[in-house]
Chains A and B, each alone.
Chain A
Amino acid sequence: MSARGRARLLAFYPREWRERYGGELLDLLEAEAHDGRLRVATYLDVIRAGLGERLRSCGLRGDAVPPRERVRAGVLLVLSSWAAFVIAGIALQKLSEHWQAVTPAADRGLPRAAFDAVRVAAVLGSLSIVAGVLLVARPILTLIGSGGLPRIRRSLGWALGVTALTAVVLVAVVIWAHHLSSVARNGGDALYGLAFLGLVTCVVGTVTAWTVTAVTTARSLDIPWGTLRRETYLAGATTLAMTAVTGAATVWWIAVAGSPSGLFAPGFPWLMVAIVSTMVTATGLALTGTHRAIRATTEGPAAVGD
């Protein structure tokens, strides 16, 4: 690896760390290089350590930052996990369209109960997120009032731009879909398929952009300790809802797949596996975030880690 390549490795570390130790680490990498090349193990070690430093600097690992920041990091991890969960939920909603129409009445009992549970838990999770946003409404207004808008202007601009693009693509795809047969809409028209893929990308981009904006904004807010504690409870409620949705969606999938509904095409159910995998991963991350936030709240606002 060239000197420039070694310098690129530093990008895995947070800026503050690079400013303090970056030069020394580069010197060490230079000494470790044989014929200008690093071993793969060395490369992986630096990447792993760099990502670890990033987690530490944002409060998701170790006790180097105060409990207040660890609570905030844990809650924001739950929020980010929820965003991934929403994307999986949209895919599930699309996949499950008309499932009752194609499933024999005698086989609808269990999947209907599971699907209702998915909806109820999803609504409860969404309400927790909305309540969490409302809780920090005052700090957000304070941030804007004190001239803090430039700190979030960039990510907010991106989010608004991607949202506008998604709206345009959505309208175009919906108009196009009305002129196509059901067969053409479901894989018969390759060009429409591409447009639909573009719409999916836009939706994922929109959810991601707003999540980044929310995280950037939340990191700039001065949030009272009491509000952080309440945010932790809401994060716990969101995580419980995510666990319930994941479990119920899995039950629904197994129940529908076991009936002669024909909802799932023959072969390996890639999409459903991707949906459930995303839900399980997001729920696992949310559990991690909630656990970290709860642990930090027990230390109190004044405690500072070693």
Chain B
Amino acid sequence: MSERTNDPTLLLLTSLTSGPKHGHALLLDIEAFAGVRLGPGTLYGAITRLEQRGLIEPVGSDDRRRPYRITAAGAEILTAAVADLTRIVDEATARLRRERERASAATGKGAPQVATR
């Protein structure tokens, strides 16, 4: 199974990899590392789906805010998704490099303006 980069579930699994978090902490963390501000409804939709699939689980807490942590199955899914994404990023980087070199050789004026990370 592969998760999409724009899928809130992937962002949520990534966030929980650094330790259990409750809803608000998840929103702040995801915004900090991905620059995406998820809506509360979207976040809890993802939490619902991930918990149903056994990829995350609630952590016992006396606080009203219930933290969640990633399960072994969730970590496995995240690892597979990251491997997928890495392959795509590597391929995109290689193709962009080849295109830049081809354009440079054809025009002798340098590379096309393509943003890469």
Contacts and interface: CB of A to CB of B under 8 A. Distances in A.
A27 interface: yes
A41 B39 CA distance: 8
Interface string A291-306: 0000000000000001
A49 B44 contact: yes
Contacts of B27: 28, 32
A24 B66 contact: yes
B48 A46 contact: no
A97 interface: no
A47 B65 contact: no
Interface size class of B (residues with CB under 8 A): 10 to 19
A29 B64 CA distance: 13
B64 A28 contact: no
Contacts of B48: 17, 21, 53
Given A23-B64, A24-B66, A25-B23, A32 B44 contact: no
A157 B61 CA distance: 46
A136 interface: no
Contacts of A24: 22-23, 44, 64-66
A304 to B, nearest CB: 11
A45 B53 contact: no
B42 interface: yes
A52 interface: yes
A59 to B, nearest CB: 14
Given A45-B39, A306-B53, A27 B64 contact: yes
Residue with the highest number of chain B CB atoms closer than 10 Å, among A31, A47, A50: A31
Nearest to A39: B39
Interface of B: 22-24, 27, 39-45, 47-49, 52-53, 64-66
Interface of A: 17, 21, 23-25, 27-29, 31-32, 41-42, 45-50, 52-53, 62, 64, 306
11 contacts: A17-B48, A21-B44, A25-B23, A25-B44, A27-B24, A27-B65, A42-B39, A49-B42, A49-B45, A50-B41, A64-B52
